[in-house]
């Protein structure tokens, strides 16, 4: 995300909080295993953190595109914001694997080229390829959201975010009520993982290039292609249930609807109605779906409701001064999110997982992680954003 002005410091605070909760979710498996086993069925900390992240992304990402008014500079900004740290983290992960300090994941016999291409698109979670790092799955949904946002902008439907969130949430509810079950990575199973990655990666490149072109016809074709690709992969090739994939997109567009209401481009009544529909459908879906492979019904519902309430509380306090500590955590939140699993992987590959309750080790882990993330933000993220601004100025259409 772009650095936010002080009046949006509450978003930084929410991002910082969400990042800390996600880190706790993953690190507690190592350092507070007994406590985590008791907590997860009641409150899914991972889902809480990522839902807050998705609401914040929905609030700010479409606004960033509309503020620029240019798809080309939007994609340049996204690429230089997301990829430098991503590339650095993946490089370090591969290095520590070669040194024998961490174990890599099994890729089900997929070739190195296939895995690399899938990850380069950041759609690997939606292309049937296991993630190098587990947390990368959320970036696939972020990328699908970017494609959808650009598509709506090119066809001039970006002002319909409230309606889009409502439709997605209702579709999720209908799919559960009708008993529609899409197998995990269904498209990959139908056409093969390799061919799907090849087609999707080429389609994504063509979509971004055409949507960034000067010709209105090309922009329209590129936008539509990207939108179809993003929505199709979420609906038919995700690893989470179909209803949850649609709810994730609905949550992000709910964030957009709130932003539009706050800036006078929509009404608060419309945003509130959208929130009611999204929350009702999401809770209903989770209740009807029951306990899944990765979460319990109770834990997911409580996490989702608290995420929405947290976002609402932040919004209510948006005109108040936010402590610098919280905005600082938000500033390094992307580093916190990407760096912590690498640090955990090194711990697992060296001293091993103790799987016992030692809160002091949990505190020590954060004490090592946060200063490290300050450095990655300063020397990887910040330069990447500066390069992105320079490139965006050069490629901006007259």
Q: What is the pLDDT of residue 354?
A: 56
Torsion of CA 315, 320, 326, 332, to 10 degrees: 70
Query: Is 132 in a helix, a strand, or coil?
Result: coil
Output b/e per residue, 274-298; b: 16+ Cβ within 10 A. Answer: bbebbbebbbbbbeebeeeeebbbe
Q: Which residues contact 192 (CB under 8 A, 6 or more apart)?
A: none
Q: What is the pLDDT of residue 83?
A: 96
User: In this structure, what are the phi and psi dihedrals at residue 290, rounded to the nearest 5 degrees?
Assistant: 85, -160
Return d(Cα 53, Cα 303) in angstroms, integer. Answer: 13
Helix, strand, coil percent values for the chain (each to nearest 5): 80, 0, 20
The enclosing H or E element of 47 equals helix 45-68
Contact 328, 377 (CB under 8 A): no
Q: What is the pLDDT of residue 360?
A: 87
Q: Between 216-236 and 242-262, two packed helices, what is the crossing angle to 10 degrees?
A: 130
Contact 316, 334 (CB under 8 A): no
Return d(Cα 278, Cα 295) in angstroms, integer. Answer: 20
Return d(Cα 230, Cα 139) in angstroms, integer. Answer: 12
User: In this structure, what are the phi and psi dihedrals at residue 233, rounded to the nearest 5 degrees?
Assistant: -70, -40
User: Encoding tokens for residue 392?
Assistant: 């965006």
Q: Per residue of the chain (398 residues), what is the pLDDT tens digit? A: 444 444 578 999 999 999 999 999 999 988 888 888 899 999 999 999 999 999 999 999 999 999 888 999 999 999 999 999 999 999 999 999 888 888 777 777 788 899 999 999 999 999 999 999 989 999 999 999 999 999 999 999 999 999 999 999 999 999 999 999 899 999 999 999 999 999 999 999 999 999 999 899 999 999 999 999 999 999 999 999 999 999 999 999 999 999 999 999 989 999 999 999 999 999 999 999 988 777 899 999 999 999 999 999 999 998 888 889 999 999 999 999 999 999 999 988 887 655 567 888 899 999 999 999 999 999 999 999 999 999 999 988 87
pTM above 0.85, yes or no: yes
Q: What is the pLDDT of residue 211?
A: 95
Query: Is 142 in a helix, a strand, or coil?
Result: helix
Return d(Cα 355, Cα 350) in angstroms, integer. Answer: 14
Q: What is the pLDDT of residue 273?
A: 97
Query: What's the gap between Cα 274 and its chain centre?
Result: 21
Domain residue extents for the chain: 6-395
Which residues does residue 357 pair with via DSSP β-bridges, in sequence order?
32
Query: Is 268 in a helix, a strand, or coil?
Result: helix
Residue with tokens 């001064």: 321
Report DSSP state, residue 330: H
Q: What is the pLDDT of residue 5?
A: 43
For residue 302, the number of C-alpha atoms closer than 13 Å in the C-beta half-sphere is 12
Q: What is the pLDDT of residue 4?
A: 42
Return d(Cα 305, Cα 311) in angstroms, integer. Answer: 10
Q: How far apart are the first and last CA of the chain?
A: 25
Return d(Cα 198, Cα 206) in angstroms, integer. Answer: 12
User: Encoding tokens for residue 358?
Assistant: 């030692």
Spatial CA neighbour of 260 closest among 158, 145, 148: 158
Contact 234, 245 (CB under 8 A): yes
């Amino acid at each position: 995300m772009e650095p936010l002005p002080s009046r949006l410091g509450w978003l930084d605070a929410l991002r910082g909080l969400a990042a800390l909760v996600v880190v706790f979710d993953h690190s507690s498996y190592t350092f507070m295993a007994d406590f985590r086993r008791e907590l997860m069925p009641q409150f899914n900390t991972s889902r809480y953190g990522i839902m807050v992240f998705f609401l914040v992304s929905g609030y700010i990402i479409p606004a960033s595109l509309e503020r620029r008014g240019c798809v080309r500079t939007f994609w340049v900004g996204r690429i230089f914001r997301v990829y430098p740290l991503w590339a650095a983290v993946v490089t370090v992960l591969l290095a520590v694997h070669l040194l024998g300090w961490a174990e890599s994941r099994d890729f089900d016999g997929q070739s190195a080229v296939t895995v690399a291409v899938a990850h380069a698109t950041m759609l690997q979670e939606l292309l049937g390829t296991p993630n190098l790092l587990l947390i990368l799955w959320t970036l696939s949904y972020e990328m699908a959201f970017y494609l959808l946002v650009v598509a709506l902008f090119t066809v001039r439907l970006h002002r319909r975010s409230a309606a889009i969130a409502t439709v997605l949430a209702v579709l999720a509810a209908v799919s559960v009520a009708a008993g529609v079950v899409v197998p995990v990575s269904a498209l990959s199973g139908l056409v093969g993982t390799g061919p799907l990655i090849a087609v999707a990666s080429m389609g994504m490149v063509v979509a971004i290039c055409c949507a960034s072109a000067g010709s209105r016809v090309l922009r329209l074709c590129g936008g539509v292609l990207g939108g179809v690709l993003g929505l199709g992969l979420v609906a038919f090739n995700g690893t989470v249930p179909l209803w949850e994939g649609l709810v994730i997109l609905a949550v992000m567009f709910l964030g957009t609807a709130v932003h539009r209401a706050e800036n006078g481009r929509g009404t608060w009544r419309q945003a509130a109605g959208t929130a009611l529909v999204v929350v009702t459908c999401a809770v209903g879906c989770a209740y009807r779906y029951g306990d899944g492979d990765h979460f319990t019904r109770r834990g997911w519902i409580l996490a989702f409701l608290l995420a929405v309430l947290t976002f609402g509380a932040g919004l209510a306090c948006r005109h108040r001064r936010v402590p610098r500590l919280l905005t600082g955590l938000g500033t390094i939140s992307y580093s916190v999110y990407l760096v912590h699993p690498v640090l955990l992987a090194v711990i697992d590959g060296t001293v091993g997982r103790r799987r016992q309750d030692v809160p002091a080790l949990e505190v020590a882990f954060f004490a090592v992680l946060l200063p490290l993330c300050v450095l990655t933000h300063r020397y990887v993220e910040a330069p990447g954003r500066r390069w992105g601004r320079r490139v965006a100025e050069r490629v901006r259409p007259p």
